[in-house]
Structures are given as structure tokens and as C-alpha cells.
Amino acid sequence: MREAPIRDLDSDLNAFKFTPRRAADQVGLRHLLKRRMLQTIQRLFQSSLIRLPLSWTGTLFGIIWASPLTAFGIALAIPIVIFSGHAQLIRGHTIALLVRGRLADFMLQRHPFGAMNAMAIGHVVIAEKSGLSSRVLIHELAHVRQAAWWGPFFPFAYLASSAWAALRGKNAYWHNRFEVAARKAEKHF
């Protein structure tokens, strides 16, 4: 009968010893697992199964949050539509009601802050009957998204931004942060 070779106990313990190479392998494995997990999560959120419900949920919350402003916009839009105006639902990154007509032209030409092509009030965009360009619409839809984000505080934040620009000796409209962001959105069109 043959005897099994006697193994050195120290060599067995070396297998469990901490070495820089083993630590590097563990860190590499951890990094690989973390990267794979992040890729899986990204793929999950890129799938329409998850992305669309989340998108619509966010849009719904934005509409509800901006509803006081939208109610005021609808109050202005109703007479425009009644007096031979036109209403159209705009769907894109956000939802808005586009209202045009002769009364809208009258309101926009006599706006207290000066004549304008269009204005957004909550999720309502009031525009001139003719001459609404894609660029102006994108600008106004940027304001609709801002209203969805800021909710009922949007008019106050807008006026505060204008006041801050004026206090710094700059133009209250052109240097208003909300207008700068809306003009930036125009450029991405």
C-alpha cells in the first residue's frame, strides 16, 4: 500500500494569503460586475417597456404641477377659439395646446411687455394666426417644459430672473435664464 504524499501545510495557507495580484484580480472582477450591472440597467431603461410609462408618468406630473398656470392659459384660450380661432394639440417632448386666431393676434400685439409672436402659459401656447415658425414653437415649448418643472412658481422665478438681470445692468429679457435656455433649445432644432 502506497502512502499519500505529505503536503506542506504552509503551501496550503499560501493559497489564501493576501497578495497584491489577488487584490487586483478582485478589483477587476468587481469593476467588471459593476459595469455589466450598469449596462443591464441602461438597457432596461432604454427599452420601451420601461421608458414609455416613466415618460408618461413624468409628463402627467408636469401637467398636474403646472395646472394652475395651464388653467389661466385655457381661460385666455377659450375666447380666442370662440371668436374664430383654432386650437391644436402639440405632442412631442411635452404636450401643449396651441391656440391661434384674430383675438390672439390682438392680445399679442398689445401685450404689456411689448409685441410678441407667441407666449406660453402653462401648457397653452398662444400664437399669431400666421407666421408661427418651427423655431418660435420650439422656443415656446421650452417654456412649457420650464412651467412643467417649476409649476406654479414659474412666473415668480421668471420675474426674479429678469429682475436679477436688470440689477446687474443687463437686458431683463435677453439675459433672463429662462429665455437663454429657450433660445438654446431653438438652436438644437
| DSSP result, 83-144 | TT-EEEEEESSSEEEEEESHHHHHHHHT-TT---SEEEETTEEEE-SS---HHHHHHHHHHH
Write the Ramachandran bin of 131: left for phi over 0, alpha for psi from -120 to 50, otherwise beta: left
- pLDDT at position 69, please? 96
In contact, 165 and 159? CB cutoff 8 Å: no
Question: Angle at CA 150, nearest 5°, toward 156 and 120?
Answer: 75
- pLDDT at position 65, please? 92
List per-residue pLDDT tens for the chain, 189 residues long: 566 555 555 555 555 555 555 555 556 777 778 888 888 877 777 777 666 676 778 788 888 999 999 999 999 999 999 998 999 999 877 899 999 999 999 999 988 778 889 999 999 999 998 878 889 999 999 999 999 999 999 999 999 999 999 999 999 989 999 999 999 998 887
Asked whether the whole model's pTM tops 0.75, one would answer no
Domain boundaries, the chain: 19-64, 66-187
Quote the cell numbers at residue 67. 395646472
- pLDDT at position 111, please? 84
- pLDDT at position 36, please? 84
Question: Distances from the Cα of 35 to the Cαs of 22, 28, 32, 80, in angstroms?
Answer: 20, 10, 5, 55
Burial (CB count <10 Å: 0-12, 13-18, 19+), residue 155: middle
